[in-house]
Structure 1
């Protein structure tokens, strides 16, 4: 089997190219793609519970903690006690973080616009159907369920 013809290889290679592209832009702003992703997932008005951010982005708590610490040191976010749940913490954007969030959003919009200008709406629709099906198969554990190894 040629790796170039496997679905997982195509997904991984494409995601690596996208991540590299975003990181090349983020570095110009003393940031990373991961930081931009976090900024885009924080509710800009109310903040977001720290415990909700990881699952929202499919990120492990350890990785997220490191990123949040770095973002706090850079002055993009701050932590505030959650008024609803006194045990929890809300992650909120500073004015600087909001500015960085807006910059990140512009890059995401530009990427999506450019892709949509170069791929038909039918193909985009198929792409989303394929990724949804793959995610559903994974969630149902329907891929390796019947595979037996020694």
Structure 2
């Protein structure tokens, strides 16, 4: 673990989680993206289609494919936004609400398994570290000139 970079650990872990969710979702003719979309759509009031991409961290083209597939399977319906005629609201169908409950239960089962195997203190540290990494990225504090020159200086010192 010592030689692995932080980004490698994050990427490998996320890929394992995604693979696990996709394997589980495939039992129900779905995908992780479908489950995530079901959980991101307001189950009563619907959700503007334009809000889903940013909420899910998905590119528009991937989201469009996911929503089309969900519509074809009868999980969602699209309706014009009554407050903004140009916009579209995405609503869950009754079938979509059933699958949403299944997705929610799957996520909760994963969370419980992790909580059962990792102490509350370690989970809290994990959350704090993740939040700090996100803040560094959002504040664009990773590749600033000062951080790059500090990193170069540290690398030179360790090599000598």
> Does TM-score exceed 0.5, indicating one fold?
yes
Hey, what does 1:65 align to over in structure 2? 64
SS at match of 2:86: coil
Can you list the C-alpha shifts for 1:36-79, whole angstroms capped at 9, x where unaligned? 00000000000000000000011111110010001100110010
Unaligned runs of 5+ in 1: none
1:120 and 1:71 map into 2 onto residues whose CA distance is: 37
Can you list the C-alpha shifts for 1:103-136, whole angstroms capped at 9, x where unaligned? 0001000000110011011111111100100000
Residue 11 of structure 1 and its aligned partner are, at CA, apart by 0.4
Hey, what does 2:30 align to over in structure 1? 31
2:136 and 2:94 map into 1 onto residues whose CA distance is: 41
Instruction: Report if aligned partners of 1:4, 1:10 keep a CA contact under 8 Å in 2.
Output: no
Change (3 A) 1:4 1:15: farther
Bigger Rg over Cα: 2
Hey, what does 1:80 align to over in structure 2? 79
1:123 and 1:85 map into 2 onto residues whose CA distance is: 46
Residue 86 of structure 1 and its aligned partner are, at CA, apart by 1.5
Change (3 A) 1:124 1:70: same
Unaligned runs of 5+ in 2: 150-160
Structure-to-structure mapping, 1:134-145, within 5 angstroms: 134-145=133-144
Hey, what does 2:103 align to over in structure 1? 104
Q: How many residues align?
A: 147
1:131 and 1:86 map into 2 onto residues whose CA distance is: 39
Hey, what does 2:158 align to over in structure 1? none
2:105 and 2:10 map into 1 onto residues whose CA distance is: 24
1:73 and 1:97 map into 2 onto residues whose CA distance is: 12
2:84 and 2:11 map into 1 onto residues whose CA distance is: 38
CA RMSD of aligned residues (A): 1.4
Hey, what does 1:92 align to over in structure 2? 91
Can you list the C-alpha shifts for 1:11-32, whole angstroms capped at 9, x where unaligned? 0000000000000000000000
